Structure 1
Amino acid sequence: MYGIDIYNSKNRHITIGTNKENKFSLDIYQISTKDTLEELLNELREAQFSTTLTSKHKLRLLKILRKNRQAFAFGEEPLGKIRGHDIELYLDVERPYPPMLRRPPYPEILESRKEIEKHLNELLEMDVIRKIGHNEIVEIITPVLITWHDGKSRLCGDFRALNNYTKGDRYPIPRIPHALDKLAKAKCITKMDCMKGLHQNGAKPNSMKLLRIICHMGIYEYTRMPFRIKNAPAHFQRMRETIFKEEILERWMVVYIDDIIIYSETWEDHVQYIDRVLSKCTPINLKISLKKCNFGQQELLALGHKLSGLSLAIDHNTVAAVLQKPVPKRVKEIQYFLGFASYYRNHIKNFSRITSSLYKLC
């Protein structure tokens, strides 16, 4: 069959042609909306794009993003659940479990109660937790906490006791400076972030029984990986490095827990790399947060650094936030400060000598 492509006044693409028997009757066999830069930008408006991209380059990128639309989380769409990578936790203590693993709920002020109720309803809606029935046997319970950051609240379990009795996962987390050294000579950099990363991982049935939380609303069970679990970062890192093994070995991709960084010297390679990564997300139901994506930049902030192919600099906003904190006076406060400072040790001359006396205090 051969055909003629035309566009009507409503900007719809219609292809017409004769059939295989070479009869002269017209056969309409394809109707699709003609892609325009404005339409695609409107659909993907939550993402950030480099202002240096030409219209041609941006249109090509937007078409790839639309093709891989199912890899992104849009608006109120359900949270993805990654297939085949459920977390499994093991305790290094036998029954009967110590009392520390079965604790009553913490006292809550009215404001905290309202926040707890709001977050529990959201987690139930996202299928991250389920309500425990009155006839179910409960051996391990963790009280919930409300934490605040930048004026926003977050619900999490106080899993310190459970973490103390959980067998550790020794899978290594990459050292950020070493991972980002690979970006030398990169002219195009893209950052993508998993939507509520840890919550996209399911939990094995035996592990769910360990992930039960309690508050004034009753007892709930995490069906997915919660925040503040001892082995969560190691599990998530292993999963991502398994999924993107080839891409990492080809040295154009960095994964750090729930962050993905793609880098290249040419735009042609860059859009192909983005396509490859997104096409691997859809089959396993891994969802990317579109509003946290930053595409095709020459320089961007990620992992506490300002990244470019020419240099690797400190994110001064992060440093300023720490400098505004009071001078550490307790051992834990000193440990926190040293942990933060060590993150930037490659940028601090004679770091070991300067901090040696502080380490002695710990």
Structure 2
Amino acid sequence: DIDADHEEPSDPEARLEEGDRIFILDHETYFATGTTHIRTTATDLAIKESLKHEAKTFENTVPSHYHDYSDVFSKEDFDSLPQRRPWDHAIELTSGTQPISCKVYPISVNEQKELDEFIEENLRTGRIRPSKSPWASPFFFVKKKDGRLRPVQDYRKLNELTIKNRYPLPLIQELVDKLKQARYFTKLDVRWGYNNIRIKEGDEEKAAFLTNRGLFEPLVMFFGLTNSPATFQTMMNDIFRDLISQGHVVVYLDDIMIFTQDLKEHRWITRQVLQILREHKLYLKPEKCEFEKAEIEYLGMIVGKGVVRMDPVMIEGVVNWPRPESKRDIQAFLGFTNFYRRFIRDYGKIAKPLSSLTGNATFESTVEQEVAFTSLKDALCTAPVLAIPNDNDPYQVECDASDFAIGAELAQKQDGKWKPVAYLSKAMTAAERNYEIYDKELLAIMTSLDEWRQYLMGAIHPFEIWTDHKNLEYFRKPQKLNQGQARWVTELAEYQYSLHHKPSKSNGKADGLSRQKRHNAGKEDNSDIILLKPEHFRALIRSTVFSLEGIDQDWVAEIKNTKRTKIPLQNKDKDWNEDSTGLVTWKNRIYVPVNRKLREQIIAHHHDTPLAGHPGQYKTHEMVTRNYWWPRIREDIRKYVAGCEKCQKTKVHTTRPTGLLFPNEIPSRPWEVISVDKIGVLPDSFGYNAILVVVCMYSKQIIAIPSTIELNAEGWAKALRDNVVTHHGLPRKIISDRGTEFKNQFISELYRSLGIEANPSTAYHPQTDGQTERINREIEQYLRLFINYRQADWAEWLPLATFLYNNKVHSSTGYTPFFVNKGYHPYEGIQPVREGLSKNVQQFVDRMDRVREDTSAAISLAQETMKRFYDRKRKNGPEYKEGDKVWLE
């Protein structure tokens, strides 16, 4: 059918005609379900509504200041075949598909007249053409409510063979949320939306339809083709991409909404939209457009003045909804009401007697179902006004769990008052009903956070969680955590929130959402208990760190027992060796046979644990290959690190600054040149709120010292003496930023008396000390991974963070900072003991000389390589002379 405005599903009974008011229901399921009763009700309401108003024309609908775009509202200009576009509709079929055919349906005399008019009109406009296709879909007529006939093409069989396009339609709730505090709204409706897109050349024959006048194929996208919504949404998103990204335009299929706070800006953006429509030869129906309204109907809701509410016309339809007499009737009613469930407190509870009949249960009308039907109609007719959330005000979540369901309310404090934003009610699964009561309470919290994640994650204010528990003393004992509980604890740590206890009597909103009269009242689930104390996180981390004892021997035993394929050249290649116990090594590293689980365990131990600290793929590779090896080990490590969830969530991704690179000088020995910087302000931890970071510019070894943000010059001098000079001697040069603790008269005189050269960073250009800045980020990243959720124990973890950094290979030198300074790797407690290492002092000295030479050469090469790649897309700065004024930023 090329005469309607929205796609019609397979059920052809009640179709909307041109000029009807369309009431958008649940678009996410509308195209799939084809529920007859929903569409019939929408049609009845549309006809009734249209009688209340005078006919809409271009002159009385479109404001005069848009009349220079009259061609965009022209029906005559639309009556031509659309041009080919990049979004032409492809009909891609599953492999091995054979053409489908059908018989000609017999038609009456009246239907023949309608068919002749349909064929002639669309041949004239070029939207169909005669066809010799091997494909054929049925064509017939259905009677509309006013007695007229409507042509229908039935593409159900073709759709079953079509590869589905998974391009997503926008989530309606996300679109409504974007409107926020807009004061002016304009809604535009694209004329015969789908017919504006051509079918991809060569695919027209697949959509052919059979009549008694012959076989015809459409050249434009027809309603009823399975991927029509995805194709049309793709085109609309692409042509309006820039305006959508600016945040004042949203598009849902052929509905365009423009929303702003300022009228002048509103008109300017509207003109931009009209210009884009003109350029792409898309046309509007003036009778379905609304301009510059303070309140507007959009996607089945009334939006404006900072709130959203149900459309009164739709509520009127609910009042007269007939009593369901079959499963299909119940599915229709629930399909309609489900779209508005966010308006209805306790929706899950009210609808449960009806929803229980939508599965395999036998339909049986009972008093309980009659009460549920009536109660749900009443709830819809008295649905509250919901606030549209904004980004500036705080949120509050109230949640509760009973034996069989969970319920919650999301509210936001606007204008000094808590206003409802959404309600949530959900029946528990059979498995969830078996949870202990404290797990049910935590399930209610986690379900609420997941439902409203888009509002709560990253909210500028910590939000409140109110529950009728003092929340789970059980979780103070981390040894009792199962996998599900541990996952919840981890997910909770991503949010900034505070927990509050509200007894059931005062927590009526959420409590009512979860409790049903016929269910257990849950009197025993409200004792005063405590949830998620900081000690829980700390104890959990410690148990993880210190549970590694003996794991290496298990690995070795499993390696020996794993069946392995033949080792290449084992008997000829001196790199391979096998000891008397059957342990095979390659280049003095243990060979791990094909055992996916074991290999992942080894990688995980060198990447995930606090002793590893989630390094990147190169450092993880170096740590693993100190003791283990297998073919394609680098690729396995790369995939593992790339898929690490914690790394994705916590690591900082940086971009390169502009300007040419001028590397620092290369020192001749460790601790000859150092840099210093400070991290802060941090959460208070054992009296500290900052970290002092000292870096050896030669070995890359770091010293991280707990400090305070108020550190002065005398404090820095003491830290330098106690942590650097007494261990490594006086440095020749110190690089720092221009903080007062590092640059003042006292420090200048101290450096001069000790023969230390001060090298402060350039003003407004911290990249002078870029290496320390990068190390600071890595330390912060490690602490984020392992400290507790209140961030109060970072000082306790700082020495371990320092050690793990110094024990990882630095990309510039090819050695670990620890090794460059000490000449050996630290014992980690799990590495295999191997005999034959040299104990000759001279050999050790020679090796250290070689390491130092390699380090200097590696730093020089790294600087040259870095500068070459860094400067590739940059240019020299302008030449300045003394006295010129420059802009610093």
> For this structure pair, what is the TM-score category when the shorter chain's length is used for normalisation?
0.7 to 0.9
Q: Are 1:284 and 2:306 counterparts?
A: no
Which residue of the other structure, out of 301, 309, 321, is the alignment partner of 1:313?
Answer: 309
Secondary structure of the residue aligned to 1:206 is coil
Secondary structure of the residue aligned to 1:173 is coil
> What is the aligned partner in structure 2 of residue 225 from structure 1?
221
> What is the aligned partner in structure 1 of residue 797 from structure 2?
none
Which residue of the other structure, out of 157, 160, 165, is the alignment partner of 1:161?
Answer: 157
State the Cα distance separating 1:186 from its structure 2 match. 1.6
CA contact (8 A) 1:130 1:220 kept: yes
> What is the aligned partner in structure 2 of residue 123 from structure 1?
122
CA contact (8 A) 1:73 1:79 kept: no
Which residue of the other structure, out of 170, 174, 180, is the alignment partner of 2:176?
Answer: 180
State the Cα distance separating 1:94 from its structure 2 match. 1.8
Q: Are 1:146 and 2:145 counterparts?
A: no
Q: Are 1:110 and 2:109 counterparts?
A: yes
Q: Are 1:249 and 2:262 counterparts?
A: no
Deviations 1:19-42 (A, max 9, x none): xxxxxxxxxxxxxxxxxxxxxxxx
Which residue of the other structure, out of 24, 32, 45, is the alignment partner of 2:58?
Answer: 45
Q: Which letter does structure 2 place at the counterpart of 1:66?
A: H
CA contact (8 A) 2:71 2:77 kept: no
Deviations 1:114-173 (A, max 9, x none): 3232223332233221122xxx3x221011133455536432311111111111111111
> What is the aligned partner in structure 2 of residue 53 from structure 1?
none
**Pair 1:357–1:121, CA change in 2 (3 A):** farther
C-alpha separation between the residues in 2 aligned to 1:47 and 1:80?
Answer: 29
C-alpha separation between the residues in 1 aligned to 2:126 and 2:317?
Answer: 35
Q: Which letter does structure 1 place at the counterpart of 2:233?
A: Q
Which residue of the other structure, out of 195, 202, 209, is the alignment partner of 1:199?
Answer: 195
> What is the aligned partner in structure 1 of residue 69 from structure 2?
68
CA contact (8 A) 1:189 1:263 kept: yes
> What is the aligned partner in structure 1 of residue 816 from structure 2?
none
Q: Are 1:294 and 2:296 counterparts?
A: no
C-alpha separation between the residues in 2 aligned to 1:325 and 1:111?
Answer: 33
State the Cα distance separating 1:47 from its structure 2 match. 5.5
C-alpha separation between the residues in 2 aligned to 1:209 and 1:164?
Answer: 17
> What is the aligned partner in structure 2 of residue 262 from structure 1?
258
> What is the aligned partner in structure 2 of residue 343 from structure 1?
339
State the superposition RMSD in angstroms. Answer: 2.4
Structure 2 segments unaligned to the other structure (5+ residues) = 1-56, 360-889
> What is the aligned partner in structure 2 of residue 81 from structure 1?
82
**Pair 1:174–1:327, CA change in 2 (3 A):** farther
State the Cα distance separating 1:339 from its structure 2 match. 2.2
**Pair 1:79–1:149, CA change in 2 (3 A):** farther
> What is the aligned partner in structure 1 of residue 271 from structure 2?
275
CA contact (8 A) 1:80 1:287 kept: no
CA contact (8 A) 2:153 2:224 kept: yes
State the Cα distance separating 1:239 from its structure 2 match. 1.1
For the pair shown, which has the larger CA radius of gyration, 1 or 2?
2
C-alpha separation between the residues in 2 aligned to 1:310 and 1:144?
Answer: 47
Structure with the larger strand share: 1
> What is the aligned partner in structure 2 of residue 94 from structure 1?
96
**Pair 1:291–1:46, CA change in 2 (3 A):** farther
Secondary structure of the residue aligned to 2:323 is coil
**Pair 1:148–1:341, CA change in 2 (3 A):** farther
C-alpha separation between the residues in 2 aligned to 1:67 and 1:251?
Answer: 26
**Pair 1:333–1:349, CA change in 2 (3 A):** same
How does 1:9-20 map onto structure 2 within 5 Å? none
CA contact (8 A) 2:91 2:162 kept: yes
State the Cα distance separating 1:231 from its structure 2 match. 0.7
CA contact (8 A) 2:129 2:216 kept: yes
Structure 1 segments unaligned to the other structure (5+ residues) = 1-43, 50-57
**Pair 1:209–1:290, CA change in 2 (3 A):** same
C-alpha separation between the residues in 1 aligned to 2:238 and 2:221?
Answer: 18
Number of residue pairs matched by the alignment: 300
C-alpha separation between the residues in 2 aligned to 1:149 and 1:69?
Answer: 32
State the Cα distance separating 1:189 from its structure 2 match. 0.8
**Pair 1:107–1:93, CA change in 2 (3 A):** farther
**Pair 1:112–1:321, CA change in 2 (3 A):** farther
C-alpha separation between the residues in 1 aligned to 2:124 and 2:255?
Answer: 25
CA contact (8 A) 1:80 1:286 kept: no
Which residue of the other structure, out of 205, 209, 214, is the alignment partner of 2:210?
Answer: 214
C-alpha separation between the residues in 1 aligned to 2:129 and 2:59?
Answer: 31
CA contact (8 A) 1:144 1:213 kept: yes
C-alpha separation between the residues in 1 aligned to 2:331 and 2:207?
Answer: 28
State the Cα distance separating 1:332 from its structure 2 match. 3.7
CA contact (8 A) 1:240 1:255 kept: yes
CA contact (8 A) 1:145 1:157 kept: yes
State the Cα distance separating 1:269 from its structure 2 match. 0.7
Q: Which letter does structure 2 place at the counterpart of 1:114?
A: K
CA contact (8 A) 1:299 1:307 kept: yes
Q: Which letter does structure 2 place at the counterpart of 1:291?
A: E
> What is the aligned partner in structure 2 of residue 353 from structure 1?
349
CA contact (8 A) 1:87 1:225 kept: yes
> What is the aligned partner in structure 1 of residue 388 from structure 2?
none
- Which aligned runs of 4 or more in structure 1 are off by greater than 6 angstroms? none
Deviations 1:305-335 (A, max 9, x none): 2222332221232343355454334444433
CA contact (8 A) 1:93 1:165 kept: no
C-alpha separation between the residues in 1 aligned to 2:152 and 2:118?
Answer: 9
CA contact (8 A) 1:142 1:211 kept: yes
C-alpha separation between the residues in 1 aligned to 2:128 and 2:318?
Answer: 34
Secondary structure of the residue aligned to 1:276 is helix
- Percent identity for Structure 1 against Structure 2: 26
> What is the aligned partner in structure 2 of residue 22 from structure 1?
none
Secondary structure of the residue aligned to 1:179 is helix
C-alpha separation between the residues in 1 aligned to 2:182 and 2:312?
Answer: 22
C-alpha separation between the residues in 1 aligned to 2:322 and 2:122?
Answer: 35
C-alpha separation between the residues in 1 aligned to 2:333 and 2:122?
Answer: 33
CA contact (8 A) 1:143 1:213 kept: yes
**Pair 1:232–1:344, CA change in 2 (3 A):** same
C-alpha separation between the residues in 2 aligned to 1:115 and 1:327?
Answer: 36
Secondary structure of the residue aligned to 1:306 is strand
**Pair 1:256–1:141, CA change in 2 (3 A):** same
> What is the aligned partner in structure 2 of residue 5 from structure 1?
none
Secondary structure of the residue aligned to 1:219 is strand
C-alpha separation between the residues in 2 aligned to 1:334 and 1:79?
Answer: 43
C-alpha separation between the residues in 1 aligned to 2:140 and 2:98?
Answer: 26
C-alpha separation between the residues in 1 aligned to 2:344 and 2:309?
Answer: 11
Secondary structure of the residue aligned to 1:89 is coil
C-alpha separation between the residues in 2 aligned to 1:202 and 1:174?
Answer: 23
C-alpha separation between the residues in 1 aligned to 2:154 and 2:254?
Answer: 22
State the Cα distance separating 1:279 from its structure 2 match. 1.2
CA contact (8 A) 1:306 1:312 kept: yes
Name which of structure 1's ranges 142-151 and 261-270 shifts more when overlaid on structure 2.
Answer: 142-151
Secondary structure of the residue aligned to 1:92 is coil
